[in-house]
Amino acid sequence: MIRTIPQIGDPVLRAANLEVSVEAVNSAEIQTLIDDMIETMRHANGAGIAANQVGVNLRVCIIGVEANERYPYKPALPLTVLVNPVVHQIGTETYLNNEGCLSVPIRGDLLRMMSIKVRSWDRTGRPFEQIYRGLSAGTVQHEVDHLDGKLILDRVTDPTSFSTWENFRAHEYDRFVDRIQPVIAATEPRTEPA
């Protein structure tokens, strides 16, 4: 079922998100939540979604980029369900990304860690570890930020980079793709088992 995505200012996006228990992860309630998150993300052409973006304050998020109208420059990323994810930085390198969000009507520039390791469960509660680099790492960090009640606007250091989607496409898109190409090229493989 496609669920409504709360927008910035809705307290559900800032509330604490609880860990999913081992007992609960295979319940019909959690499995339906995950299915609905996937459906809602795909319907909105998102690259990821967090449970609080369908109104549920649990530490579950999903990432996945197919050929995506919203992000045609983004490398593909397999659909991955992360339950109780924890992000560890690898190295110290960062890059300047430009991100949008299904819960925020404007985009902006923000720094992301270049390489991370994620420790998590999959949707059945099995341990899952993966290394992510570049834009794929940025997507994971964006979704885990949601689980910490953080939105992109909290991380934007230069407010002059704020832009509507329409104005980003008209005025910033080409410059951003030029800026991000070296990051994409330098971060292969984008994912790797940890």
What is the Rg, in whole angstroms, of the alpha carbon atoms belonging to the chain?
16
Residue nearest to Ni ion (CB): 101
3-state secondary structure of 111: strand
Which residue among 19, 143, 172, 192 is the active-site one? 143
Near Ni ion by CB under 5 A: residue from 13, 58, 101, 110: 101
- 143 tagged catalytic: yes
Measured from the CB of residue 74, what is the shortest distance to Ni ion in angstroms? 14
Nearer to Ni ion, 101 or 110 (CB): 101
Per-residue tokens: 133? 């680099």
Measured from the CB of residue 90, what is the shortest distance to Ni ion in angstroms? 23
Nearer to Ni ion, 6 or 75 (CB): 6
Query: Candidates 72-80, 100-108, 127-135, 163-171 — which segment interacts with Ni ion by CB under 5 A?
Result: 100-108
Helices (H), the chain: 28-43, 134-147, 152-155, 165-167, 173-186
Length of the chain: 194
Q: Is the dihedral of CA 83, 140, 106, 155 positive or negative?
A: positive
Binding site for Ni ion (CB under 5 A): 101
